[in-house]
Structure 1
Amino acid sequence: MQNITERFLKYVSFDTQSDANSSTTPSTEKQWEIARYLTEELKRIGMEDVSLDEHAYIMATLPSNVDHQVPVIGFIAHFDTSPDYTATDVKPQLHRDYDGEDIVLNKEENIILSPSYFEDLLMYKGQTLITTDGTTLLGADDKAGITEIVTAMEYLIQHPEIKHGKIRVGFTPDEEIGKGAHKFDVDKFGAEWAYTMDGSQVGELEYENFNAAGAVVTVHGKIVHPGYAKGKMINSMLIATKFINALPANEIPQETEGYEGFFHLSEISGSVEKTKLEYIIRDHDLGLFQQRKKQMLKAAQNINESLGSEAIEIDIKDQYFNMREKVEPVMHIVDIAEQAMKDLDIKPLIKAIRGGTDGSQLSYKGLPCPNIFAGGHNFHGRYEYIPVESMVKATQVIVKIAQLTAKKV
């Protein structure tokens, strides 16, 4: 596994941001560059049935090396990066034998990665950290997952004494904009179950995620000359403020944790004539999730009634649902991953994802798909980092899952 750092650094050199406003798959042309590179690399390490389809979905096979019946399993990761922060010209920095102190990412701009703010850093004293230079995101979400899967497959190919069944790997575009599984061909993939390598700290094992919806709130106003506006002007921005304040002030991302859901105002643009609010709605509990959507509609209705007009329109669309419903009937797939971690002296951290992965949608398409740690922290921004040792451990977990699945019962 000595190539793991070099491989990761190569992957993050590709700018692969996805674009939520695009109607194509992949959503950005630049994702094709890494897709073609990965396709050739999978062939180079000895994978079989390597394919790259017209939408940039990659699949490949590691054939079984046992003579008894073994379930076909899969490992999946996404190669796009978040549109939340620039991924152009990533300049990764290696910090060997981390001493637990502040890391100066960018001296000129005084950008510092500090354990006084990001306490998780202290878990990795003495390890090798890979960070950004403070001007881009890093891309460990989810190029770390791809690194680990490719490295694990290469290791299994180079060590045929390790027994395993047939393994399928899949790499997807556009996960960061909620479309990573939309055109994933589950039948072609042909696995009984799979794991996404898309979690954060070492030990994470997740089979629950948010139920998710997106809401576009459009507020209509009326513009007239401000000097003659009395009784005539309707300022859509002020009405939008009423709507924002009608939702619970403490049910927002920065005030919630664990199983607590939220309303997140992710974007706002406006003028007197028209204001648009974009929200995401999240909750692990399906009943509470449905209630949140009704709550938004009721807030708009109340304001419209008070104004005597249809000033506010809301369009709510469901995005994905909690995969727990699909994974619980086959909990042995979680048990195998948990045992793999224990066998490697890794403490499993079984918890709910405060977000979503390709696995949530894939589970509803018939491919149960829990999520396993990939090792990174502070995704989607300039403070993103990953310990090399965490990538090694995630790679070892993949190998161990392959071994455990192939054991005769």
Structure 2
Amino acid sequence: MDFNTALTYTAAERFLRYVTIDTQSDPASPTCPSTEKQKDLGRLLVAELLEMGLTDAHLDEHGYVYATIPANTDKPEVPVICFCSHMDTAPDCSGTGVKPLVHRNYNGADIILPDDSTQVLRMAEHPDLKNQLGNDIITASGTTLLGADNKAGVAEIMDACYQLINHPEIKHGTIKILFTPDEEIGRGVDKADIEKIAAFACYTIDGENAGNLENETFSADGAMLTINGVSAHPGFAKGKMESAIKIAGLIIAALPHHLSPEGTEGMQGFVHPVDMAGHVETATIDFIIRDFDEDLLANHADVIRQITAGVLKNFPNASYTLEVKPQYRNMKNVLAQHPQIVDYGLEAIRRAGMEPKLCSIRGGTDGSRLSFMGLPTPNIFAGEHAFHGKQEWVSIQDMQKAVDTILHLCSIWEERSRLAP
């Protein structure tokens, strides 16, 4: 079936509605979801899924949306697959009052966002715009993020559901749908019910360039460095005070550039201080440690220890502790055990008319943790660009290609399954 000519797409129309709902998550909140407003989008999605005829669609108390598209094939052994996107937007940039704009028939010229003329999309700064000539670009108006990360993925999955229900000629097994809260603050699958999903494989729809499939993420640890200094009255501190704050500053200044985010790229890992707090007597530095090679995480933590020990040679009465905790692991380690999951994804991209590109993510996704929870999950493009900022954008045509890819994936899993007797 040629999806490109047979389908009337709804992804863009859905996306333009979804982005106007503020779903920004909050890392300071202890609740799940971290913000109740995420449920506003969840309730809308459930209503639309129920209207499509997915009778089990529901929003749980934690803000997760679940639904099932029943199989329409005679083949009894088609594995259950799941599609997942997250509903929240990043805390980095306002998600309140998003005004989406459609720039039709992009011609390569600068796109000036009307509510802040200093926000300009230039091809030199957004390289994938060169692949968008003649396409329709969606942006925000210049004062907020757009929310393409990941409401583009949400809209694409919702459109795919609509197409599967309205085109029974597309044969497929049982399809599970999962929309998560709080992915942007690292809690996207904290309360996900894997038993309820009961799938063999999952695909997050949360990537960038059309044609990309990501099967590898960083492995990640968090490290909390606590520095115990020596406090004294500042008027009588000579020879006594050993300020934990100053020690912390020296440690941060000594971090090597070649092991910092701003000095690394590609497959290179890093050590990154993300927060610091304290006073003269005690200070803490919160680090994130990242590498594609899990074995190198311990080496990176040793760099922190070595630097700290070196700095403390000049502060003989001060001491430190370093607590390292795992955060997530490279999903490639799990996906390698089930190569067909990635292979089928690449084939679906080809069938949708693109040359697939297998990529690594310098970060993590819900799929990282889902993979280690027993649900192997690579990441497929959603077409989103310039995430977490005011220049975020997506093209309508790339969103439609993502819908095609999802539909082809459903067909491929059905085709490759064991034939009915």
Output the TM-score relative to the length of structure 2.
Answer: 0.91
Aligned to 2:54: 47
C-alpha change, 1:108 and 1:56, in structure 2 (3 Å) is closer
Contact 1:106 1:112 in 2 (8 A): no
**1:72 Cα deviation from its structure 2 partner:** 0.8
Matching residue within 26, 29, 39 for 1:32: 39
Does the alignment pair 1:189 with 2:188?
no
Aligned-pair identity in percent equals 44
C-alpha change, 1:284 and 1:108, in structure 2 (3 Å) is closer
Aligned to 1:379: 387
Matching residue within 299, 303, 307 for 1:291: 299
**1:323 Cα deviation from its structure 2 partner:** 1.0
C-alpha change, 1:99 and 1:25, in structure 2 (3 Å) is same
Contact 1:156 1:399 in 2 (8 A): yes
Matching residue within 243, 247, 256 for 2:251: 243
Matching residue within 40, 60, 67 for 1:60: 67
- Cα deviations by residue, 1:44-102 (Å, 9 ceiling, x for unpaired): 12223212222111110101111112111110111011112221211222111112122
Q: Once structures 1 and 2 are overlaid, which stretch shifts more, 237-246 or 319-328? A: 237-246
Contact 1:48 1:62 in 2 (8 A): no
Aligned to 1:137: 145
One-letter code of the match for 2:179? F
* CA–CA distance in structure 1, aligned partners of residues 301 and 323 of structure 2: 10
Q: Secondary structure at the match of 2:196?
A: helix
* Mapping for residues 75-94 of structure 1, pairs under 5 Å: 75-94=83-102
- Cα deviations by residue, 1:313-341 (Å, 9 ceiling, x for unpaired): 43332110011111111101111111111
Does the alignment pair 1:5 with 2:12?
yes
* CA–CA distance in structure 1, aligned partners of residues 231 and 144 of structure 2: 40
Q: Secondary structure at the match of 1:309?
A: coil
**1:312 Cα deviation from its structure 2 partner:** 3.8
Q: Once structures 1 and 2 are overlaid, which stretch shifts more, 187-196 or 29-38? A: 29-38
C-alpha change, 1:299 and 1:65, in structure 2 (3 Å) is same
Q: Once structures 1 and 2 are overlaid, which stretch shifts more, 145-154 or 134-143? A: 134-143
- Cα deviations by residue, 1:4-40 (Å, 9 ceiling, x for unpaired): 2221011111111112222211111211211111111
**1:195 Cα deviation from its structure 2 partner:** 0.5
Does the alignment pair 1:118 with 2:126?
yes
* CA–CA distance in structure 2, aligned partners of residues 393 and 281 of structure 1: 35
**1:211 Cα deviation from its structure 2 partner:** 0.5
* CA–CA distance in structure 1, aligned partners of residues 301 and 28 of structure 2: 23
Q: Secondary structure at the match of 1:265?
A: strand
Matching residue within 24, 29, 35 for 1:22: 29
* CA–CA distance in structure 2, aligned partners of residues 204 and 105 of structure 1: 27
Query: Number of matched residues?
Result: 409
* Mapping for residues 146-295 of structure 1, pairs under 5 Å: 146-221=154-229, 229-269=237-277, 272=280, 275-295=283-303
**1:225 Cα deviation from its structure 2 partner:** 6.3
* CA–CA distance in structure 2, aligned partners of residues 336 and 226 of structure 1: 67
RMSD between superposed Cα atoms in Å = 2.0
Contact 2:229 2:318 in 1 (8 A): no
C-alpha change, 1:294 and 1:342, in structure 2 (3 Å) is same
Matching residue within 366, 384, 398 for 1:358: 366
Does the alignment pair 1:390 with 2:398?
yes
* CA–CA distance in structure 2, aligned partners of residues 236 and 99 of structure 1: 56
Q: Secondary structure at the match of 1:351?
A: strand
C-alpha change, 1:235 and 1:105, in structure 2 (3 Å) is farther
